Chain A
Amino acid sequence: MTMRHSSRAKIGPPKTLPLTENPLARRYLLVALQIGITVALLAAWEIGARTGLVNRFLFASPSMVWDVLVKRSVSGELFEDIWTTSAETLTGYAVGAIGGSAIGLGLWYSRFLSDLSAPFIAAIGSIPVLAIAPMTIIWFGTGMMAKVMIVAFSCVVVSLTTSYKGAMRTDGDLINLMRSFGASRSAIFFKLVVPASMPWVISGLKLNVGFALVGAIVGEYISSQAGVGHMILLGSSNFSMNIVLAGVAVVMVMMLVFNFLVGLIEKSILSWERK
């Protein structure tokens, strides 16, 4: 008895949580620190460039990058480049990622066909996009089409394999249940396999956002008349680091926006997953 009393006394009243453990305070603290660090880095870079501690020829400065963004926004060049790259990325993504997902799911129908195609898919998947990009330009020219093809190529295998994996993981008991209702193979496919694979399909789509944008920019590096990759390439060939870095900043923002859009799609399709 006494033992129990003494051990209970030790627990005492709950203490207030330290700042890093209170969930809400922790979140605000993190965001504040992240913003603070960003501002401090940019300020240090700017000050360094102005005082000569940082080589402006090699590293430019935040204000120089900002000037490029403002000037090109006013002239409209920036939006033209963003539009070109976005159109290439989104079209190629639609063809590659969505087409790849459809093929991957469709392979569920035929075990034979999927086994037959497995080494070919693996072979295609092992080709770095950079290796075939020059050839694509020769085949499809220097315009939009070649970039769309490069983007589609960089997405298709990842989407195909993730969605095929998802389709094949459909619970056998659920398939039996559908069979017990006398469901045809296509009813099983559309009513069960496709929706059940959606988490996999979406994870493939998310992975591919990055691959798609890389594909578009690689295509523009090789040959282009417009686009953010084109802007970066021209900037670096003129040793204008401010233009290069402005392009990099634009790519970062584009990536955030594309990820956000795919996140919206995920939320609407997989709303049942959070229940």
Chain B
Amino acid sequence: MRRILFLSFFFLFSPWIVRDAQAYLDPGSGSYLLQILIGTVLGILISFKIYWKKIQLFLTGLFKKPSMKKDGEAQVSRKKSK
């Protein structure tokens, strides 16, 4: 996840070339816009992480052998989820 975030900003901003700002800065707008960009990227990553966990859970549930004792319960719950 860190790599994706890193690469996104690497291409979006190429910030290693930052030079000193001679003029008066109004940092409000820049900070405001950057937050929305970071928030959006982080939001996508979080959503991806949540869905990926759901997919993982679904797949492990699909291929997991139901235990002997709770065989009946497991069958019922799988049917319900379908």
Partners in one complex: no
**Residues on B facing A (Cβ under 8 Å):** none
